[in-house]
C-alpha cells in the first residue's frame, strides 16, 4: 500500500480506539518495511544494537522503558534524515535457558543426562523455535521500529563463527588462558560465575567466635567467622605484622585446628585488618577469594572440603556427606560441646548468591578458562577519559573508573551444555591444548589423534560483548559494518554497566581497534510507586502487556518517557498511565476539531519559512512552537527524554488546547473570511509540527492523525523532524500575548478562589496606568470577556478597589471583580460546614487506624502507605475548607 493513500476519510473517529488503530498501523509499517535501514551515500549514520533480551524472556517494565527510549532515538534520527539502523536480537542466556528446559524434562521424568549432550542441545533449539520469539512479538506491539529483517541470535551461524574467531585470537595473544583458580561456584547450576554474576543480598546470620588454641595447649586466639564449616579447610592463622598483641608469637607458631586434629601455622600479612574483631584471621585458601591470594603469597596448602554440589567431601572427615549448611549446624554443636565456641551473636551481612537461581555461591577452586582483562580494561578507561565514549549521566563515570581499577580476570567457562562450546581440544597423548576455529582431527602439538573437545561452554556475556560488530557481519567486511560501526549510542539500565557495557568497550576496542559506541545512556531502574523492586511474590509487578491492553501502547510509552529522568530510580504508578491516556484523548479531540475545520479548504497550505501570519494570537502560537521545537531537539540530543515529554505535554495541553484553540474558535467559524483562512493556515502549520514532535514518543496516534490532515501525505515516521523557523520568532508578540493571557488567568483565578458557579458571568475592572498596555487590553476586550466569562469589562487608568471585591495584580494591571452579588454567603457557609464535618469524621477514622499499632505492624506496607496518603490528602482538604470559610465570613 502506498503511504500517500492512507488518508481515507476526512473525519477522525469520535472516540480514540487505540487497540484497532495500533494493530492497523503496525501491520502497515511492517508490510511496507518502513523500519528497514537505508544506506544512502552522503547521509549521516545513526545506529543502535538492541540490548539482547534473553531468549527465555517476556516483556517486563524494564524492557518496555529501555526499548521505548531507544525507539524514540531511532524514530527521531530517521526523521532527521539519517541513515538509521536498529538491530534487534536475542541472547541465548546459557544458564537461564538450560534451567528452563531442564525443568521441562524433570516434569517429563527425564533429564539432560538421560538425553545426552547432543539430544539435549537439540531439545533446547526446539524450545527456542517454539518460545524464543515471544518477547519480540510483544516489543512490536509496543511500536518498536527495529529493522526486523536483520534479527540476530547470539548462537546463529554467523555470530557463532565470530565468537570462535575472537576466542582463538585472544588465546593466541595470550589474553585467554586456562588454569586452576578460585571462582564463584553455584552448587545448584553446577557452574562457575563471573564476579558480576553474583548478587549480594543482606541476610540474617550468625557470627561465631571460635578459640584456636596453641598446639602446645596454651591460650591461642579468638577468631570470628560466619562460615564455620570452612574451618575444616583452614591452613593458617594470619595476623598483621605490626599488631602488638601478637608480637610474642613467632611466625610459624603452630595452632590446633578445632575439631580436626590438624595443626596450622601462624603467618603475618599486612592484608589483615587489625581493627576487625581480635585482629586474627583464619585462612582458608580453597574457600575464600582473599584467603586464596594470601595462600598464594605464603605457599599455603589448598584443602577443598566440599564437592561441586555443596556436599562435604572426604577432606571433611566425620562430616563427609553432609550438606554445607547441615555441616555448619553440626560443627557449631560440636564446637560448643568441646569448648571451642566462645560465643555467637546475630549478624546481618551481605551473602553472595547466583544471579539466576539465587542459591548461595561458594568460592571454589576449579580449572577454568579466563580472559586476562587488565590490558583490555586500560583501553576502555582511556576511551572514557578521553571522551571517545561518553557516559550519560556522567555521575556514573566515577563508578566505572573504580570498578575497572579493581577488575579481576574474567572467568568465561561455564559447566553447562547450552552455549558456545569452547573451541579447544585436549590431547590425551601429550596433554596439550589445541585451540582452533575449525574442528581439528589431530593435536596441533604432537600430531596424535586422541583429542577431545572441552565440555564447557563460554559465558553468555562473552558472545554478548561482541554484539555491536558481530551483528553487522564481522569478521566479514560488510557495508553495514563500514557505515554503522561504531554504533551511535548504547542504551541500557545502569545495573549491567559492568556485566555488559564495559565488556563491549573492552572487546570493541581490542578487536575492532575502535569504540563500539559513542555514547552510553544509563537509565534508571523501574520500581513500584513506593520505590520497591517489582516481584511476583509481592504482587507489585506492572505487566507492560496488560498496560497496553488497558491503556494503549502510546499511553504506556508516554508515561515511561515522562518518568525517564536521569537517576537511579523510577517509581511507576498505573494512575500516571491513566493520566497520560487522558493526554492522548486531549490530543485526539483537538485533532478532530482541527481536521473538521482544516478540510474546509481543500488546497490549504501551511506557512513556509519566510512567511508568517498577521494576527497576534497566530504569531504568538508560531513563536511558542519555535521555542518548543528547539527545546525538544536539545532534550533528545542530550538524552533528557523526560524533558522532551514534558515540553510536548505542556505545549499541547496548555498552549495549543487551553489557549490557542479556544482563542481562534470564533475565527474558524467565519467560513470564508480572511480571519478563518489565516487561522486554518496557522493551525495546519502547528498541527503538522506538533505531530512530528510527538511522533517518536507516541507513534501510533500521531501517524493516524497525520493521515487525516489535508493533502496527500506519506508516512509521518518518514517526514522531516521540525526545525525552528527564524521568521516565526516574535518576542514582542509573545510579550503582548503573555499579558493578555495573564489577565485572563488572573480573572479566572479570582473566580476559582471565590468558588463561583462555572456559568456565572462576572463584572470586572482592569486598572492599567500604562497607556500602551491599556490600548492593547482595549483592542482585545472582546477576547478577554469571552475567555474570562465577563458580561462587563471596564478598562481604566486609575480606580479604587472595593472591600467586597476579588483582587489580583498582573504586573502593573490590577484586576477587580465585585463578588457580593454573585454569592449566597449564608448558603455557602452551610455547605462548607457540612463538608467540614464529613472530612473530620473520615480523617478521624483513618487516623484511628494509623494510631493502632496492630494495624501498622500487621497490615501490608502498601496498605499502610495508602492510608497515610489518604490522611495527608484529607488534611489538605480540611485546610482548603477552612480558607473557604474564612473568605465567606469576610464577605458577610
Distance CA 38, CA 413 (A): 39
**Cβ neighbours, 10 Å, residue 27:** 11
Same domain, 815 and 835: no
Same domain, 795 and 852: no
For residue 354, what pLDDT is reported? 87
Same domain, 818 and 862: no
For residue 521, what pLDDT is reported? 94
Neighbouring residues of 352: CB distance < 8 A, sequence distance ≥ 6 = 184, 198, 199, 200, 360, 361
Distance CA 304, CA 235 (A): 11
**CATH code where residue 547 lies:** 3.40.50.620
For residue 327, what pLDDT is reported? 95
Summarize the confidence of residues 681-691 as an average pLDDT: 97
Please determine, for residue 10, whether its predicted confidence score (pLDDT) is greater than 60. Answer: no
3-state helix, strand, coil in the chain (%, to 5): 50, 20, 35
For the segment 328-347, what is each residue's pLDDT rounded down to a tens digit?
A: 999 999 999 999 999 999 98
Buried b (16+ CB within 10 A) or exposed e, 440-463: beebeeeeeeebeebebbbbbbbb
For residue 877, what pLDDT is reported? 79
Distance CA 340, CA 212 (A): 7
Please determine, for residue 234, whether its predicted confidence score (pLDDT) is greater than 60. Answer: yes
Same domain, 840 and 807: no
Please determine, for residue 418, whether its predicted confidence score (pLDDT) is greater than 50. Answer: yes
For the segment 748-775, what is each residue's pLDDT rounded down to a tens digit?
A: 998 888 778 888 899 999 999 999 999 9
Share of the chain above pLDDT 90, in %: 65
Angle, helices 574-598 vs 553-563, to 10°: value is: 120
Same domain, 222 and 276: yes
536 labelled as ligand-binding? yes
Please determine, for residue 566, whether its predicted confidence score (pLDDT) is greater than 90. Answer: no
Is there a domain that residue 229 lies in?
yes
**CATH code where residue 708 lies:** 1.10.730.10
- Rounded to the nearest 10 degrees, how much is the dihedral formed by the CA atoms of 593, 599, 604, 606? 30
With cut-offs at 50, 70 and 90, classify the pLDDT of residue 3.
Answer: very low
Same domain, 745 and 722: no
Last residue of a domain, one of 341, 362, 383: 362
For residue 884, what pLDDT is reported? 67
For the segment 56-85, what is each residue's pLDDT rounded down to a tens digit?
A: 777 888 889 999 999 999 999 999 999 999
Distance CA 77, CA 696 (A): 9
Residue closest to 569 by CA, chosen among 65, 179, 36 = 65
Please determine, for residue 567, whether its predicted confidence score (pLDDT) is greater than 70. Answer: no
Q: How far apart are the first and last CA of the chain?
A: 71
Q: Grid coordinates 524514530 are at which residue?
A: 75
Helix or strand or coil: residue 205?
strand
Is there a domain that residue 381 lies in?
no
Same domain, 664 and 760: no
For residue 4, what pLDDT is reported? 42
For the segment 256-292, what is each residue's pLDDT rounded down to a tens digit?
A: 999 988 999 999 998 898 887 789 999 999 999 889 8
Last residue of a domain, one of 684, 711, 729: 729
Is there a domain that residue 327 lies in?
yes
Helix or strand or coil: residue 211?
strand
Same domain, 213 and 280: yes
Same domain, 353 and 208: yes
Least confident of 96-100, 539-543, 607-611, 829-833: 829-833
C-alpha grid cell for residue 700?
A: 501510533
For residue 791, what pLDDT is reported? 93
Please determine, for residue 688, whether its predicted confidence score (pLDDT) is greater than 90. Answer: yes
Instruction: Look at the chain and report how many structural domains it folds into.
Output: 5
For residue 538, what pLDDT is reported? 66
Please determine, for residue 202, whether its predicted confidence score (pLDDT) is greater than 90. Answer: no
Give long-range contacts, CB 8 A cutoff, 24+ apart: 744-748.
Answer: 744/784, 744/787, 744/788, 746/808, 746/809, 746/810, 746/815, 747/784, 747/788, 747/790, 747/808, 747/815, 747/817, 748/788
Please determine, for residue 878, whether its predicted confidence score (pLDDT) is greater than 90. Answer: no
Same domain, 219 and 349: yes
**Cβ neighbours, 10 Å, residue 304:** 18
**Which is it for the CA torsion 138, 140, 144, 148, positive or negative?**
positive
Residue span of the structural domain in which 309 resides: 191-362
C-alpha grid cell for residue 177?
A: 588462558
Asked if residues 223 and 210 have their Cβ atoms less than 8 Å apart, the reply is yes
554 Ramachandran zone, left/alpha/beta (phi>0; psi -120 to 50): alpha
**CATH code where residue 258 lies:** 3.90.740.10
Last residue of a domain, one of 801, 822, 843: 822
For residue 370, what pLDDT is reported? 93
With cut-offs at 50, 70 and 90, classify the pLDDT of residue 834.
Answer: confident
Same domain, 794 and 833: no
Is there a domain that residue 139 lies in?
yes
For the segment 393-416, what is each residue's pLDDT rounded down to a tens digit?
A: 999 999 999 989 988 888 899 888
Same domain, 471 and 618: no
Is there a domain that residue 456 lies in?
no
Please determine, for residue 618, whether its predicted confidence score (pLDDT) is greater than 60. Answer: yes
For the segment 360-375, what is each residue's pLDDT rounded down to a tens digit?
A: 999 988 888 999 999 9
Q: Grid coordinates 585470537 are at which residue?
A: 169
Is there a domain that residue 544 lies in?
yes
Name which residue leads in pLDDT, 751 or 862: 751
Is there a domain that residue 31 lies in?
yes
Is there a domain that residue 751 lies in?
yes
- Mean pLDDT (the chain) is 90
C-alpha grid cell for residue 451?
A: 583429542
C-alpha grid cell for residue 819?
A: 463578588
> For 808-860, where are the alpha helices, taking DSSP H only?
825-850, 853-858
Amino acid at each position: 500500500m502506498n503511504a500517500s493513500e492512507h488518508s481515507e476519510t476526512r473525519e477522525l473517529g469520535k472516540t480514540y480506539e487505540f487497540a484497532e488503530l495500533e494493530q492497523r498501523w503496525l501491520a502497515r509499517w511492517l508490510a511496507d518495511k518502513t523500519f528497514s535501514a537505508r544506506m544512502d551515500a552522503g547521509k549521516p549514520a545513526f545506529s543502535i544494537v538492541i540490548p539482547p533480551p534473553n531468549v527465555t524472556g517476556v516483556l517486563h517494565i524494564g524492557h518496555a522503558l529501555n526499548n521505548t527510549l531507544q525507539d524514540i532515538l531511532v524514530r527521531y534520527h530517521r526523521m532527521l534524515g539519517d541513515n538509521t539502523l536498529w538491530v534487534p536480537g536475542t541472547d541465548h542466556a546459557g544458564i537461564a535457558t538450560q534451567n528452563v528446559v531442564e525443568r521441562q524434562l524433570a516434569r517429563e521424568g527425564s533429564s539432560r543426562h538421560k538425553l545426552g549432550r547432543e539430544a539435549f542441545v537439540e531439545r533446547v533449539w526446539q524450545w527456542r523455535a517454539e518460545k524464543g520469539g515471544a518477547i519480540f512479538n510483544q516489543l512490536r506491539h509496543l511500536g518498536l521500529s527495529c529493522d526486523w529483517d536483520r534479527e540476530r541470535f547470539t548462537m546463529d551461524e554467523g555470530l557463532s563463527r565470530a565468537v570462535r574467531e575472537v576466542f582463538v585470537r585472544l588465546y593466541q595473544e595470550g589474553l585467554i588462558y586456562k588454569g586452576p583458580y578460585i571462582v564463584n561456584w553455584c552448587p545448584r547450576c553446577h557452574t562457575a560465575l563471573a564476579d558480576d554474576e553474583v548478587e549480594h543480598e543482606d541476610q540474617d546470620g550468625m557470627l561465631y567466635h571460635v578459640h584456636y588454641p596453641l598446639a602446645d595447649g596454651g591460650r591461642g586466639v579468638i577468631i570470628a567467622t560466619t562460615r564455620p564449616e570452612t574451618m575444616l579447610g583452614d591452613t593458617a592463622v594470619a595476623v598483621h605484622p605490626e599488631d602488638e598483641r601478637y608480637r610474642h608469637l613467632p611466625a610459624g607458631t603452630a595452632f590446633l585446628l578445632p575439631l580436626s586434629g590438624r595443626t596450622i601455622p601462624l603467618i603475618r600479612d599486612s592484608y589483615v585488618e587489625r581493627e576487625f574483631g581480635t585482629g586474627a584471621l583464619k585462612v582458608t585458601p580453597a574457600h575464600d577469594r582473599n584467603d586464596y591470594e594470601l595462600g598464594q603469597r605464603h605457599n599455603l596448602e589448598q584443602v577443598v572440603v566440599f564437592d561441586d554440589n555443596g556436599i562435604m567431601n572426604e577432606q571433611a572427615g566425620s562430616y563427609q556427606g553432609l550438606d554445607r549448611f547441615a555441616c555448619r549446624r553440626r560443627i557449631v554443636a560440636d564446637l560448643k560441646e568441646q569448648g571451642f565456641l566462645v560465643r555467637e551473636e546475630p549478624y546481618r551481612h551481605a551473602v553472595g548468591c547466583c544471579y539466576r537461581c539465587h542459591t548461595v555461591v561458594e568460592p571454589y577452586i576449579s580449572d577454568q578458562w579466563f580472559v586476562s582483562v587488565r590490558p583490555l580494561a586500560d583501553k576502555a578507561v582511556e576511551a572514557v577519559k578521553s571522551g571517545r565514549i561518553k557516559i550519560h549521566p556522567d555521575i556514573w563515570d566515577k563508578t566505572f573508573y573504580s570498578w575497572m581499577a579493581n577488575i579481576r580476570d574474567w572467568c568465561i567457562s561455564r559447566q553447562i551444555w547450552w552455549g558456545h562450546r569452547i573451541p579447544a581440544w585436549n590431547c590425551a597423548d601429550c596433554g596439550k591444548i589445541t585451540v582452533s576455529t575449525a574442528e581439528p582431527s589431530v593435536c596441533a602439538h604432537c600430531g596424535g589423534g586422541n583429542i577431545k573437545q572441552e565440555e564447557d561452554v563460554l559465558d553468555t556475556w562473552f558472545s554478548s560483548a561482541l554484539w555491536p560488530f558481530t551483528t553487522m557481519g564481522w569478521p566479514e567486511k560488510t557495508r553495514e559494518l563500514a557505515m554503522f560501526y561504531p554504533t551511535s549510542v548504547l542504551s541500557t539500565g545502569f545495573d549491567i554497566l559492568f556485566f555488559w557495557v564495559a565488556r563491549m568497550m573492552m572487546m570493541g576496542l581490542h578487536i575492532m581497534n575502535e569504540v563500539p559506541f559513542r555514547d552510553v545512556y544509563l537509565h534508571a531502574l523501574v520500581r513500584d510507586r513506593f520505590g520497591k523492586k517489582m516481584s511476583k511474590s509481592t504482587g507489585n509487578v506492572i505487566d507492560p502487556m496488560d498496560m497496553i491492553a488497558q491503556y494503549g501502547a502510546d499511553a504506556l510509552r508516554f508515561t515511561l518517557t515522562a518518568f525517564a529522568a536521569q537517576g537511579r530510580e523510577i517509581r511507576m504508578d498505573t494512575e500516571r498511565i491513566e493520566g497520560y491516556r487522558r493526554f492522548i484523548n486531549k490530543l485526539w479531540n483537538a485533532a478532530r476539531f482541527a481536521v473538521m475545520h482544516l478540510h474546509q479548504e481543500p488546497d490549504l497550505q501551511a506557512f513556509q519559512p519566510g512567511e508568517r501570519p498577521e494576527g497576534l494570537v497566530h504569531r504568538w502560537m508560531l513563536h511558542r512552537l519555535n521555542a518548543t521545537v528547539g527545546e525538544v531537539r536539545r532534550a533528545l540530543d542530550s538524552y533528557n527524554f523526560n524533558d522532551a515529554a514534558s515540553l510536548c505535554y505542556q505545549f499541547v495541553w496548555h498552549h495549543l488546547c487551553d489557549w490557542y484553540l479556544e482563542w481562534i474558535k470564533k475565527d474558524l467559524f467565519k467560513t470564508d473570511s480572511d480571519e478563518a483562512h489565516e487561522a486554518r493556515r496557522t493551525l495546519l502549520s502547528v498541527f503538522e509540527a506538533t505531530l512530528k514532535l510527538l511522533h517518536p514518543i507516541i507513534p501510533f496516534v500521531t501517524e493516524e492523525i497525520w493521515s487525516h490532515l489535508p493533502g496527500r501525505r506519506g508516512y509521518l515516521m518518514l517526514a522531516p523532524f521540525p526545525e525552528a523557523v527564524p521568521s516565526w520568532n516574535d518576542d514582542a508578540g509573545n510579550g503582548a500575548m503573555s499579558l493578555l493571557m495573564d489577565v485572563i488567568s488572573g480573572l479566572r483565578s479570582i473566580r476559582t478562589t471565590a468558588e463561583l458557579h462555572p456559568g456565572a458571568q462576572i463584572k470586572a475592572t482592569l486598572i492599567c496606568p500604562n497607556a500602551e498596555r491599556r490600548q492593547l487590553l482595549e483592542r482585545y476586550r472582546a477576547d478577554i470577556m469571552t475567555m474570562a466569562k465577563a458580561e462587563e469589562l471596564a478598562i481604566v487608568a486609575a480606580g479604587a478597589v472595593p472591600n467586597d471585591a476579588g483582587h489580583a495584580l498582573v504586573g502593573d494591571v490590577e484586576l477587580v471583580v465585585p463578588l457580593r452579588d454573585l454569592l449566597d454567603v449564608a448558603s455557602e457557609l452551610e455547605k462548607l460546614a457540612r463538608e467540614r464535618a464529613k472530612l473530620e469524621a473520615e480523617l478521624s477514622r483513618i487516623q484511628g487506624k494509623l494510631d493502632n499499632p496492630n494495624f501498622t505492624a500487621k497490615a501490608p506496607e502498601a496498605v499502610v502507605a495508602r492510608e497515610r496518603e489518604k490522611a495527608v490528602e484529607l488534611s489538605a482538604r480540611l485546610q482548603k475548607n477552612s480558607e473557604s470559610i474564612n473568605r465567606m465570613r469576610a464577605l458577610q
